[in-house]
C-alpha cells in the first residue's frame, strides 16, 4: 500500500474500470509500486538527457553519472544507462521536415514532386533526401502508435 494507507491503482486498472462498470480494480502491490516509481525516475532521467543541448564530454558524463546516483538508479544498470545516454553519431533528422514530407506523401505526391515543392518553399532537399525521410528510422511516439492502432481495421 501507499504511504497514506490508501490503495493505489494503476492507470490500466482504472481505465478498465471506466470501460467496464462491473470491473473491480485491483490495487497495486508494494512491488508494483516500487517498480512504477523506478520507471518514473528513469523517465525523468531520460527527459533530462533529451533536453541536454551541450557537448557530450567528460563533464557531461560526470553530471549524468551523478544524476543516476541522485535518482537512485545505480543498482542494476548504471553502465547501460550511461551507454543509452551517449549521443548517436551522424546527422540528425528534422522531425518537422519528416512530418511535412509524410503529409505531402499522403496527398499522393511522388518524391520528385515533394522535392520540387520543398525547394519552392525554401527547404533545399534532393529526391534522395525525400526518399530517406520517407523511411521510418525513428521510433514511433506513443501518440503515433495510438493513432495507428485506432485507424487499423478490426
Return the higher-pLDDT residue of 79 and 151: 79
55-104: pLDDT as tens digits: 888 988 898 889 888 888 877 777 888 888 888 776 666 777 888 888 88
Q: Which of 30, 51, 115 is nearest to 60 (CA)?
A: 51
Distance between CA atoms of 54 and 17, rounded to whole angstroms? Answer: 45
Statement: residue 139 has pLDDT above 70:
no
Q: What is the mean pLDDT of residues 136-146?
A: 67
7-17: pLDDT as tens digits: 888 888 888 88
Statement: residue 133 has pLDDT above 70:
yes
Residue 116 has φ and ψ, to the nearest 5°, of -65, -40
Distance between CA atoms of 61 and 86, rounded to whole angstroms? Answer: 9
pLDDT at 140: 66
Banded pLDDT at 138 (limits 50, 70, 90): low
Could you give the C-alpha distances from 43 to 47, 49, 100, in angstroms and in order?
Answer: 6, 10, 29
Amino acid at each position: 500500500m501507499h504511504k497514506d494507507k490508501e490503495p493505489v491503482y494503476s492507470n490500466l486498472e482504472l481505465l478498465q474500470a471506466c470501460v467496464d462498470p462491473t470491473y473491480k480494480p485491483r490495487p497495486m502491490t508494494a512491488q508494483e509500486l516500487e517498480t512504477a516509481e523506478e520507471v518514473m525516475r528513469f523517465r525523468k532521467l531520460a527527459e533530462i538527457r533529451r533536453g541536454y543541448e551541450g557537448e557530450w564530454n567528460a563533464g557531461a558524463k560526470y553530471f549524468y553519472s551523478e544524476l543516476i546516483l541522485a535518482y537512485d538508479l545505480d543498482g542494476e544498470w548504471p553502465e547501460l544507462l550511461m551507454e543509452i545516454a551517449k549521443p548517436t553519431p551522424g546527422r540528425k533528422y528534422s522531425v518537422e521536415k519528416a512530418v511535412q514530407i509524410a503529409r505531402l506523401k499522403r496527398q499522393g505526391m511522388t518524391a520528385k514532386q515533394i522535392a520540387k515543392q520543398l525547394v519552392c518553399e525554401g527547404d533545399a532537399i534532393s529526391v534522395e533526401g525525400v526518399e530517406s525521410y520517407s523511411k521510418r528510422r525513428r521510433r514511433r511516439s506513443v501518440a503515433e502508435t495510438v493513432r495507428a492502432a485506432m485507424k487499423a481495421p478490426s
